[in-house]
Amino acid sequence: MKGYRRPFRPARNTGPLPERPILERGAARELLTTWELTKNKELVDRHLATMDKLYGQGAEQRIRQHMRQIRRTERIA
């Protein structure tokens, strides 16, 4: 039918997200860079507080661990 568009239906995923560790690691890189440039701990803590809503229970601790690992292994001090 001409002019007909099927309504958009987003995919429903009720299980664990397979790309979640990659997204969490990306968020950790962003927050680590923010902290290195601004040294504003309150700003980083505020952003980390919202991560549980995005990535599920315990995301704040997982992202903090990613930040530590990235700082030790990838960033040359």
Per-domain residue ranges for the chain?
A: 20-73
What's the CA gap between 77 and 68, in Å, rounded?
Answer: 13
pLDDT at 63 over 80: yes
pLDDT at 49 over 90: yes
In this predicted model, what pLDDT tens digit does every residue of 9-41 receive, in sequence order? Answer: 777 766 666 788 889 999 999 999 999 999 999
Neighbours of 69 (CB within 10 A): 12
pTM as predicted: 0.72
- State the pLDDT at residue 13: 67
pLDDT at 54 over 90: no
3-state helix, strand, coil in the chain (%, to 5): 60, 0, 40
Encoded tokens for 15: 């299980």
